[in-house]
Structure 1
């Protein structure tokens, strides 16, 4: 009897616990009480040329080292002979005449028969070629002696010829020649051959090939699928060109925007500062051609409806590397670059730099509203330079907001010094960075709850959850990380009166050419996919609304209770209430949203991101393992009853009658 009684007691307790577990928690939403507007810039994108993001990535050029300006001028090229052809190459240095494009190739074709020429290896071991695509091949050439012809061939799998064309340069002065041709097959790592035939001597430079179908079909443009993924986020801003690229390992490898605009053959190549940064992923052939330059950045921002946010060097190289600095009395060229950039973006044709923008084909201003001074600098030396930049910029452009760095870490002495100093000096926007564990992101969902509401605005400029540890090559873009980022983002949005901008980083990574992981979008030479973190960013950006309204549980913000995080907003443009709920726990959560204010239609739209496993990832083969799933749910007056599954991000949109 005693055993049976004890068993019944345990069973009764289990039933009671089960009933209690299924009792929905009641969340209150005050839809009639606006807490703060949400800035259009709330969720944006951060671009940096790391992980082969520009050359070999979003910049659609298919020829590596097209102008022979790498430190080893023939890097990426191999001499080839066939059918008894013969010849030799000379690398000519004309630095006195053309310092920005010092090298060209003089090719001697010494055989009357066969062919002699060059093979280009493309990026990461080959060139992505698509069946049926039209390719535009071009070259700067001049005939020296004889009548040398160019035969272009694409070699696909098993060395099969899948495309070919012919060019016959005639001038004895430099001229550009081009031809279009199509491919008969798809190859992820094709080879490009430039065969020379006909005895003679010819000079070659700027050997280039682009797909015809680039973003907006612009000649010499950007890779369409990658830019489309940015457009699909509908970002509020585009930060460019970085990142540590801005600083350079040393000052002579910093990003100089004036060298990235104008004629493509007059943009000065430099080695990419990430080429040897990581011992686990050396990339000695990683360079910047600046085919993707500031004009292209501004135009891309305009294309995707994003506010441009350029970041400029403040006279300091990367403090993790050389820490080179320009003396304070020698900062004038750096200051002038900043002032000239604002004029380039916003000035009319009566100004020097506004006229240049007009001459480059964009008479309308780019409406630049903010600019960054330095990237991840720290210490009193940065403060000294920041003061000089801020004074000069504000004197001429008082309405331009300045983004100020708070160093590379979210806390510590470097952060504290800059945070205290810039607040006392009335800074506009403070740029905070955090690369940390998923736990850190969950634990910091209240980070901005107690920030000064009257102080500078916050830009969460670089963040990503690290599955192993910061900078580890073993980090994965898994669901646990994305879920933690979503939890953190509810805190950003809930505090939209303080946090005006946020962006995940880095943005792009080539599957064969990365240096840093995790990253938002991965690609190879042909395809691309968004990670779970990408879909979190997209979900929040597309559903941010216009105004935050209070969402509470027992009169508290929802920021970690039983692993749950939530925020709510109104969208005045669509007359909807938007609820974002993140369940990071292992247990499904029955919830009841009690809405004060408004009258809602009986059916709500629901968008869900979910996986049963935290280690789930997307891939090129399975790009949408974790991706948004749309559905609907019933609404009972001002009450929404539902169950949020474990490991789930859910957005509920209710239409106001």
Structure 2
């Protein structure tokens, strides 16, 4: 009897604890900080086949024969007794930016001679009923015209699309033809057959879907850009990342070489091609079909403020660390000044006129620019001073983003942080790739930062499930939930933190070098990770002004394994509550709201959760961890909420 009574009491106590209610307080009339429109944004870098083979919709690999092996991606083909030969011609003196083309000699009286192109990661993603545009720059050399037969072959070798084209000029000209695919496959190949005796020169052999983002010819992959638009980002940072620096300076990103006609954009090898021994990609190049004009236009399309990052005369310090001498830095500085003029100048300026001539007379309203990516050391400070003086002298209103190195602490970070604060820097760019626990433990990181000092840009961050640069890292729910916990601290300190972006952004499932990443894709499909949904929910629910959400007069940053923040959305007249439960137990919580005249009887609740901290999304289960919406009743100025284990909830309460 005593034993049964004891067990009954224990069970009752456990039930009471499980159902005990923790009360939080929200002072809805005490605005702590204004949340900038740029608070949550996008970091883009061409890593993991993000550009070529990814968001840039070109299906042909090595279309201009500019890879180190000029015929990489191409394979000679013959059929029906056709014959011929091909020479790779180097015209670097006349066309240094596009040095190579091929000259094909068709020697057979019958049949076909030509090439197939393997596309990216072993194939081209094509869809049934989709129209494709084939184009080539060509000139006939002989007295007769060589005819081109274009075919798409499915993964089983069947012809699933075809067209004919006959170039006629003896000078270079562009020719194009459209045709539809009769099947869907992620691994199609393009065949370019030539027939009729003669000699023909070919360059810029290209294949694009007609349906691109906003249906722009030669444009971007629509489904992937839609993923970005759905984030409702406040800014778009481009083009990286270590891409900006280059492994050595001649491999750096040079924005002026990425605008204008695509056949005049100089290809270079991608600096990520063999960076990691676990995922070498020797066929990874940058064609710059996605260049600075496209970046600016995409930012404009998705409502994001553009944030270009420029090389400051330093190659990647993890690689060669090459430096431009200080007295030779002028061309690099001029690139920055010219870029601002390109973005904002009118048609009376040299670079503003070029933007206008490229079809965009309106300015891009550039407000900020990054000097260097992830540099550190006194050599960076020396170059930063030169850039800053020149930019501020000519464009005093443009904010400069300054790097604080690759880590959120340590002597390199401390040197830059102290120096740039003393020099009155505008925005400091902090990066953190760390274990999930680090993000939970650092939810208070900015609570005691100087409110009058530089603003913070959390420019690159992602929780690592194993360790940084480990190929076994996963985009699992524990990492995403830990990032959500950390982001409550970013938002709570919006008077200090003005910008934040997860990194990297994109990864091809068969062509990645780095993991984790925000969005994964193959040649046809994509899926959003749990981390993506965390970013999206913060972005579309950021509100306009932070108000205090406390437990026992303290910010909620780890008590009961919980993290929380609240904001007003003055645009919609709502109170927005974000609550993260990282524990293994459910919690019953209530929010006592002061300083409000009351709310409508029902609030909307968005829940992101998983039963396991190891849960992931995939191409076959893209929404395993994804937001679910519901409603909840509220009584007066008190809201009671049941919060599941391992969950992130957003509640929006409409003012009466």
Within the candidate set 2, 7, 29, 1:5 is matched to 2
* Matched residue SS, 2:156: helix
Deviations 1:199-223 (A, max 9, x none): 1000000000100000000000000
The match for 2:502 is 504
The structural deviation recorded for 1:293 is 0.1
Residue in 2 aligned with 1:479? 477
Verify: 1:187 aligned to 2:185, yes or no.
yes
Other-structure match for 2:100: 103
1:7 Cα shift?
4.7
Output the CA distance in 1 between the equivalents of 2:72 and 2:445: 48
Q: Which residue of 2 aligns with 1:93?
A: 90
Q: Hey, what does 1:339 align to over in structure 2?
A: 337
Within the candidate set 515, 518, 523, 1:517 is matched to 515
* Structure-1 separation of matches of 2:620 and 2:227: 17
Q: 1:159 is paired with a residue of what secondary structure?
A: coil
Are 1:149 and 2:147 counterparts?
Answer: yes
2: CA distance, partners of 1:477 / 1:359: 43
Alpha-carbon shift at residue 20 of structure 1 (Å):
3.1
Q: 2:239 aligns with which of 241, 248, 263?
A: 241
Aligned to 2:583: 585
Aligned to 1:453: 451
Q: Which of the residues 358, 361, 383 maps onto 1:360?
A: 358
- Match for 2:60 among 59, 63, 81? 63
Q: Which residue of 2 aligns with 1:279?
A: 277
1:393 corresponds in structure 2 to 391
How far, CA to CA, are the matches of 1:98 and 1:360 in structure 2? Answer: 21
Are 1:626 and 2:625 matched, yes or no? yes
**Are residues 1:616 and 2:645 paired?**
no
Name the SS of the counterpart of 1:471 in structure 2: coil
Equivalent residues in 2 for 1:14-93 (5 A)? 14-93=11-90
CA distance in 2, matches of 1:344, 1:491: 37
Find the aligned partners of 1:55 and 1:465 in 2 and give their Cα distance. Answer: 26
1:136 corresponds to which of 127, 133, 138 = 133
Structure 2 match to 1:120: 117
After TM superposition, the runs of 4+ consecutive aligned structure 1 residues lying more than 4 A away are none
* Per-residue Cα deviation, 1:526-557 (whole angstroms, up to 9, x for no partner): 00010000000000000000000000011111
1:542 to 540, 563, 578: 540
> How far off is 1:10 after superposition?
4.6
* Correspondence for 1:465: 463
User: Take 1:150 and 1:470, find their aligned partners in 2: how far apart are those partners?
Assistant: 49
Specify the alignment match of 1:646 in structure 2.
645
1:5 Cα deviation (Å)? 2.8
* Distance in 1, Cα, partners of 2:547 & 2:41: 22
Taking structure 2 as the reference length, the TM-score comes to 0.99
Measure how far apart 1:353 and its partner are.
0.2
Distance 1:157 1:290 in 2: 28
- Give the Å deviation of 1:6: 5.1
1:235-270 deviations in Å (ceiling 9; x for gaps): 000000000000000000000000000011000000
Q: Secondary structure at 2:558's aligned position in 1?
A: strand
Residue in structure 1 matched with residue 377 of structure 2 by the alignment: 379
> Counterpart in 2 of 1:602?
601
Normalised by the length of structure 1, the TM-score is 0.99
Q: Deviations over 1:313-336 (max 9, x none)?
A: 000000000000000000000000
**Shift of residue 597, structure 1, vs aligned partner:** 2.2
For residues 23-59 of structure 1, give each alpha carbon's deviation from its aligned partner in whole angstroms, at most 9, with x where no partner exists.
2100100111111100000000000000000000000
Equivalent residues, number: 654
Structure 2 counterpart of 1:255, from 249, 253, 275: 253
Aligned counterparts of 1:292 and 1:281: Cα–Cα separation in 2? 24
Render the CA deviation track for 1:52-78: whole Å, top value 9, x for unaligned. 000000000000000000111101001
Q: Supply the distance in 1 between the matched residues of 2:10 and 2:632 (Cα, whole angstroms).
A: 33
Distance 2:33 2:337 in 1: 33
SS in 2 for 1:464: strand
1:178-203 Cα offsets, whole Å, 9 max, x none, are 00000000011001000000010000
Between the aligned partners of 2:111 and 2:561, the Cα distance in structure 1 is 71
Deviation at 1:17, TM superposition (A): 3.6
Report the alpha carbon displacement of residue 18 of structure 1 after superposing the two structures with TM. Answer: 2.3
Deviations along 1:75-130, whole A, 9 cap, x unmatched? 10010000000000000000000000000000000001000001001000000010
| Matched position secondary structure for 1:100 | coil
After TM superposition, give the deviation of residue 12 of structure 1 in Å.
1.5
C-alpha distance in structure 1 between counterparts of 2:125 and 2:444, whole Å: 45
Q: RMSD of the alignment, in Å?
A: 0.7
Q: How far 1:16 sits from its partner (Å)?
A: 2.4
* Structure 2 residue ranges without an equivalent (≥5): none
Report deviation, 1:606: 0.8
Per-residue CA distance 1:410-459 (angstroms, 9 max, x = gap): 10000000000000000000000000111000000000001001000000
SS in structure 1 at match of 2:504: coil
Q: CA deviation at 1:21?
A: 3.1
